A and B are shown apart, each in its own frame.
Chain A
Amino acid sequence: MIKLLVYLAIALAIILIVQLMRIYQLSSEVKGKHIGKADDDDNRSQGLLMLLFVLALFAGLIWLLFDVRGKMLPPAASDVGTISDNVYMFNWIIIFIVFFATSFLLFYFPFRYKKQKESKAYFYPHNDKLELIWTVVPSIALAVIIIYGLSLWGKMTGTPDPKSMVIQVYAKQFDWTVRYSGADNKLGRTDYRLIDDASNNTVGMDSKDTAGWDDFMVRGEFHIPVNVPILFKCNAREVMHGVYFPHFRDQINCVPGITTELHFTATITTDSMRKITHDTAFDYVLLCNRVCGSGHYNMPMKVVVDSPDEFKAWMAKQHPFFADLYNAYHKQAVPTAMK
């Protein structure tokens, strides 16, 4: 019943507006004003609005810049991330200059050159010199941007440090498993047909590969040492996921069937970052950044960047997944391999 009344009210409102429109239209005709075409009054008011708009746009942008201070990401916490922040700043400066200049002219000219009685336009079909200038100048600016950007891209995606610590990041709906390669720094072979959640073999580790006997897996949170290059090998179980480390300014997709790589060196420990941000609850986080299903938003993983001592202590508490095989094998050979 209420729905019906609402529909009725909407219908009546439309009829009312239609009638008002007709009255407005008739009265305009009487006054000799065209209701479809702009006249000098419109040009004056709309021209002024153009100018006011661009000022309001600039004011809004500046307000936003102040408003978000301290609410954005803290300074980058990785080697490549630090360079990334610099490249960003360089690009932002160019972008802001061009934005303010072009936007202002774009809205100022309509205000300045609005049609009024007796005003005339200037016939100006082309000017080769001007056009050459604004082809060449952006080209030079872009060349600098490209070179600066690609030099960082080279560092990000170039050959990883051979001494990198190898870690697997494994994504599934809707959580992460992180596997450490142990003392041999080699990840054991996996096969998706060996996946067995009941026995916690989340990533499908193959017990036949001895390289994997010292591997261990963690969930919920994982630790990395500060100032040690890390090589992440990324995999996914059923659909694509995205490894996204906002604080380290890096990401890569996890793709079923292939292994993707990501490498960087964390430069600030969690504790130091808590001091920098004045936030005792601060934590680095790993986010999924490739839509992967209904729980996509629901799979963060805490990342802890440890000092070397803290990391050693944390490692000592971990147990290889194939603990029995590992212990049997190492009983004689290297009894303290994990230390």
Chain B
Amino acid sequence: MENHAHADTHDTAHHAGHVHHHEHAKLSFIEKYVFSMDHKTISKQFLFTAMFMALAAAIMSTLFRLQLAWPGHSFPVMHYFLGDRWAKGGILDPNMYLGLVTIHGTIMVFFLLTGGLSGTFANLLIPLQVGARDMASPMLNMLSYWFFLIASIIMMISLYVETGPASAGWTIYPPLSALPQAIPGSGAGMTLWLCSISLFVVSSLLGGLNYIVTVLNLRTKGMKMTRMPLTIWALLITAVLGVLSFPVLFGAAILLIFDRSFGTSFYLSDIYIGGQALSQTGGSPVLFEHLFWFLGHPEVYIVIMPAFGIISEIMSVNSRKPIFGYRAMIGSMLAIAFLAFIVWGHHMFVSGMNPFLGSVFVFTTLLIAIPSAIKAFNYITTLWKGNIIFNPQMLFVIGAVSTFISGGLTGIILADSALDVAVHGTYFVVAHFHIVMGLSAVLAMFGGVYHWFPKMFGRFMNKKMGYWHFWLTFICAYGVFLPMHFVGLAGVPRRYFNNDLYPAFEKLQHLNIIITVFAIIGVLSQFIFFFNFFYSMFKGPKSEQNPWNANTLEWTTPIVPEHGNWPGALPEVHRWAYDYSKPGKGVDFIPQTVPMEEGEMDEGEHV
């Protein structure tokens, strides 16, 4: 409440001289909820769309996990979702198996963890936490969402074409993705995949440019860069990464479209298929790998960086302690972002590229472990001697740090080219990246939803359901991916429809069953979240001005802010965002809007 009081005095002090250009005219329903230019509404639109896409992708994963645990068995649920065309008698078709893993990966990486994560939280938090009325360009921001929606719709439609969805893996390496003769999914399904991703890149660029401009230009008075919450730093760096790398994916996709449809040979050479020799020569699939991973690697940091920001903010608030090493946190994020552009080759140790180049990538990749270690240690130190409140979001971000550490450590093996070649393309890799990038980002995203739900909808989510949701999700997450490492170390390649021909792999089939059981429980427990989310949206207990006693600016707006965010003047910032439990103060938090006292030091300014 104290926070509120400060905001109010501040507002009245400045109110007289201001005339506000809020939407005084009433907005129609369409303007307010559909074609809205309000960043908060756009944020919710991103979240709803991403939740729907993630649900679809999660269901896909249970379908192919069923096949992997009990290969060749008939499942009514398989037939229910895939019908006679792809699951005759309830038995999954091998082509559809590849289609499901491809679309599962595509949706989770791009639509949930890029569009969904950045789209939701950059839109919600950037204007609210830097003290801006909206994004620099609300129009482009709205377009960003609509491109995202169209991309999502096209991706879903691609599941329904006669030849099936794209099935060359989410990395869509040509020539497999270029030749419909090689796999049916490379027909119309692949065309739709490329259209969808091209539109997705447009959405991502429109959003990203907007985020950068807003953070750089629309910070309120007193909000120096060194006073910004780490969420904003993270989202800013994410946007820069996206703007620099997504155009390369766009280029790669365009060249692939040309190879597929116009007879060029960027990626194709010396191919004999379907009883005839193709005329294309001189291209190289390795070129595609370079282009793809030039986006692909920054992409994993585009996914994890917003998670870092969310973790930092939530962990600090719920530990009632400043984030440990604020400057080091920014520095390590900048270091990771820089290194992210010079490590892509570690995905290509077996591609046939020059081995010397491989050793350079080994070096740069293992360098990333240093800023990552700094982050992990700083998080742990933030918890040390804290006053920890176990709101559901706190559980999720602790879980996210745990998976980041566990998955990061196995990354040391995969970054080492000589070791990578022994497990490249096996389930070890699948386990590694799901833990380090997928789970960390998803858990942080859940944390973000629980934390900022009161700001989004003016209501609380139910904490007991939050606890159940966390523990089931977290236990199942480890239950799925811990055993999966061993399946990979035993040499089982990913994307195998079954292992019937390999008696050596039979010995680990019980692990595959364990994995599938955990996966199914994990997916089912997401319905607790869905229920909690939609129920609380309408019926949850009403929120308060500053429900978590946090310092950042979003809690100085009205409980449910209108378009424009602050009814009066914009708040003025006097300190960094992490003055929790500062000695000699009566309360354990000091909002950023509270002026410094005589002789008080701004910790964000510390060098």
A173's contact among B182, B327, B373, B386, by CB below 8 Å, is which?
A: B182
Do A36 and B463 contact each other (CB < 8 Å), given the known contacts A60-B482, A145-B416, A149-B416?
yes
Residues from chain B with a CB closer than 8 A to the CB of A142 are 366-367, 369-370, 412
CB distance from A77 to the nearest CB of B (A): 12
Say yes or no: A84 contacts B419, CB within 8 Å: yes
Tell me, in angstroms, the Cα distance from A173 to B419 when the chains sit together: 28
B261 at the interface (CB under 8 A from A): no
B251 at the interface (CB under 8 A from A): no
CB distance from A95 to the nearest CB of B (A): 5
Residues from chain A with a CB closer than 8 A to the CB of B507 are 71
Say yes or no: A291 contacts B495, CB within 8 Å: yes
CB distance from A146 to the nearest CB of B (A): 5
Say yes or no: B422 contacts A250, CB within 8 Å: yes
B325 at the interface (CB under 8 A from A): yes
Please, which residue of chain A has its CB at the minimum distance from the CB of B101?
A: A291
Residues from chain B with a CB closer than 8 A to the CB of A303 are none
A75 at the interface (CB under 8 A from B): no
Interface string of A1-44 (1 = CB under 8 A from B): 00000000000001001100110010001000011111000110
Say yes or no: A297 contacts B498, CB within 8 Å: yes
CB distance from B3 to the nearest CB of A (A): 15
Residues from chain A with a CB closer than 8 A to the CB of B425 are 242, 244, 251, 289-290
Do A57 and B478 contact each other (CB < 8 Å), given the known contacts A106-B398, A122-B581, A240-B173?
yes
Interface string of B354-381 (1 = CB under 8 A from A): 0100110011001101100110111111
B286 at the interface (CB under 8 A from A): yes
Residues from chain B with a CB closer than 8 A to the CB of A110 are 383, 388, 390, 394, 398
Q: Among B7-15, B110-118, B399-407, B562-570, which stretch is in contact with chain A?
A: B399-407
Kindly identify, within residues 49 to 98 of chain A, every residue whose CB is under 8 Å from any CB belonging to chain B: 49-50, 53, 57, 60-61, 64, 67-68, 71-73, 80-81, 84, 87-88, 91, 94-95, 98
A125 at the interface (CB under 8 A from B): yes
Residues from chain B with a CB closer than 8 A to the CB of A21 are 462, 535, 539
Among A29, A84, A257, find the residue whose CB has the most chain B CB atoms closer than 10 A. A257
Say yes or no: B541 contacts A124, CB within 8 Å: no
- Count contacts between A and B, CB distance < 8 Å: 376
Say yes or no: B270 contacts A256, CB within 8 Å: yes
Tell me, in angstroms, the Cα distance from A42 to B320 when the chains sit together: 16
B489 at the interface (CB under 8 A from A): yes
Tell me, in angstroms, the Cα distance from A113 to B387 when the chains sit together: 6
Residues from chain B with a CB closer than 8 A to the CB of A298 are 497, 501
B558 at the interface (CB under 8 A from A): no
A109 at the interface (CB under 8 A from B): yes
Tell me, in angstroms, the Cα distance from A113 to B405 when the chains sit together: 21
Q: Among A177-185, A221-229, A280-288, A314-322, which stretch is in contact with chain B?
A: A280-288
Interface string of B411-438 (1 = CB under 8 A from A): 0110011110110111000000000000
Do A291 and B478 contact each other (CB < 8 Å), given the known contacts A36-B462, A103-B405, A145-B366?
no
Say yes or no: A239 contacts B358, CB within 8 Å: no
Kindly identify, within residues 142 to 166 of chain A, every residue whose CB is under 8 Å from any CB belonging to chain B: 142, 145-146, 149-150, 152-154, 156-158
Tell me, in angstroms, the Cα distance from A196 to B145 when the chains sit together: 52
A46 at the interface (CB under 8 A from B): yes
B467 at the interface (CB under 8 A from A): yes
Tell me, in angstroms, the Cα distance from A161 to B545 when the chains sit together: 73
A207 at the interface (CB under 8 A from B): no
CB distance from B156 to the nearest CB of A (A): 21
Please, which residue of chain B has its CB at the minimum distance from the CB of A197?
A: B275
A53's contact among B282, B474, B483, B508, by CB below 8 Å, is which?
A: B474
Tell me, in angstroms, the Cα distance from A285 to B583 when the chains sit together: 66
B222 at the interface (CB under 8 A from A): no
Tell me, in angstroms, the Cα distance from A138 to B378 when the chains sit together: 14
Tell me, in angstroms, the Cα distance from A127 to B328 when the chains sit together: 10
Tell me, in angstroms, the Cα distance from A5 to B496 when the chains sit together: 37
Residues from chain A with a CB closer than 8 A to the CB of B501 are 297-298, 300
CB distance from B169 to the nearest CB of A (A): 5
A253's contact among B181, B327, B352, by CB below 8 Å, is which?
A: B352
Please, which residue of chain A has its CB at the minimum distance from the CB of B505?
A: A71
Say yes or no: A287 contacts B493, CB within 8 Å: yes
In this complex, how many residues of chain A approach chain B with their Cβ under 8 Å: the count is 114
Say yes or no: A35 contacts B462, CB within 8 Å: yes
Residues from chain B with a CB closer than 8 A to the CB of A328 are none
CB distance from B150 to the nearest CB of A (A): 28
Interface string of A218-255 (1 = CB under 8 A from B): 00000000000000000001111010101101111101
Q: Among A129-137, A305-313, A330-338, which stretch is in contact with chain B?
A: A129-137
Say yes or no: A107 contacts B398, CB within 8 Å: yes
B258 at the interface (CB under 8 A from A): no
B374's contact among A64, A134, A145, A193, by CB below 8 Å, is which?
A: A134
A300's contact among B277, B424, B475, B502, by CB below 8 Å, is which?
A: B502
Do A291 and B98 contact each other (CB < 8 Å), given the known contacts A120-B387, A239-B179, A253-B350?
yes
CB distance from B283 to the nearest CB of A (A): 7
CB distance from A17 to the nearest CB of B (A): 7
Tell me, in angstroms, the Cα distance from A73 to B508 when the chains sit together: 11
Say yes or no: A130 contacts B580, CB within 8 Å: no
Interface string of B169-186 (1 = CB under 8 A from A): 100010110010111000
Tell me, in angstroms, the Cα distance from A251 to B419 when the chains sit together: 11
B491's contact among A73, A193, A288, by CB below 8 Å, is which?
A: A73
Do A130 and B418 contact each other (CB < 8 Å), given the known contacts A195-B272, A239-B175, A258-B284?
no
Say yes or no: A71 contacts B490, CB within 8 Å: yes
Tell me, in angstroms, the Cα distance from A139 to B586 when the chains sit together: 42
CB distance from B402 to the nearest CB of A (A): 6
Kindly identify, within residues 271 to 301 of chain B, every residue whose CB is under 8 Å from any CB belonging to chain A: 271-273, 275, 277, 281-286
Tell me, in angstroms, the Cα distance from A139 to B374 when the chains sit together: 11
Tell me, in angstroms, the Cα distance from A22 to B169 when the chains sit together: 45
Tell me, in angstroms, the Cα distance from A294 to B99 when the chains sit together: 10
Residues from chain A with a CB closer than 8 A to the CB of B413 are 88, 91, 95
Residues from chain B with a CB closer than 8 A to the CB of A105 are 380, 384
Residues from chain A with a CB closer than 8 A to the CB of B402 are 103, 106-107
CB distance from A204 to the nearest CB of B (A): 7
Say yes or no: A35 contacts B464, CB within 8 Å: yes
CB distance from A148 to the nearest CB of B (A): 8
Say yes or no: A288 contacts B373, CB within 8 Å: no
CB distance from B286 to the nearest CB of A (A): 6
Say yes or no: B490 contacts A68, CB within 8 Å: yes
Say yes or no: B373 contacts A134, CB within 8 Å: yes
Residues from chain A with a CB closer than 8 A to the CB of B384 are 105, 109, 113, 122, 124
B340 at the interface (CB under 8 A from A): no
Please, which residue of chain B has its CB at the minimum distance from the CB of A17?
A: B531
Say yes or no: B173 contacts A290, CB within 8 Å: yes
B460 at the interface (CB under 8 A from A): yes
Give the top 9 A-B pairs by smallest Cβ distance, nearest first.
A36-B460, A257-B269, A246-B491, A157-B355, A260-B352, A46-B390, A297-B496, A122-B385, A149-B416
Selected A-B contacts with CB under 8 Å, 28 pairs: A36-B541, A37-B548, A42-B390, A42-B463, A42-B467, A72-B490, A73-B489, A73-B491, A88-B413, A113-B383, A113-B385, A113-B388, A123-B321, A123-B580, A124-B322, A125-B578, A126-B325, A127-B324, A130-B377, A135-B374, A142-B412, A149-B416, A150-B417, A197-B275, A238-B181, A240-B175, A297-B495, A297-B498
Q: A98-B405, A146-B416, A192-B272 are in contact. List 12 more A-B contacts (CB 8 A).
A: A21-B535, A37-B460, A46-B467, A95-B412, A102-B405, A113-B385, A138-B369, A138-B370, A256-B268, A256-B271, A294-B183, A296-B98
Give the interface of B toward A (CB within 8 A): 94-95, 98, 168-169, 173, 175-176, 179, 181-183, 268-273, 275, 277, 281-286, 319-328, 350-352, 355, 358-359, 362-363, 366-367, 369-370, 373-374, 376-381, 383-392, 394-395, 398, 401-402, 405-406, 409-410, 412-413, 416-419, 421-422, 424-426, 454, 459-464, 467, 471, 474-475, 478-479, 482-483, 486, 489-491, 493, 495-499, 501-504, 507-508, 511, 531, 535, 539-541, 543, 547-548, 578, 580-583, 588, 603, 606
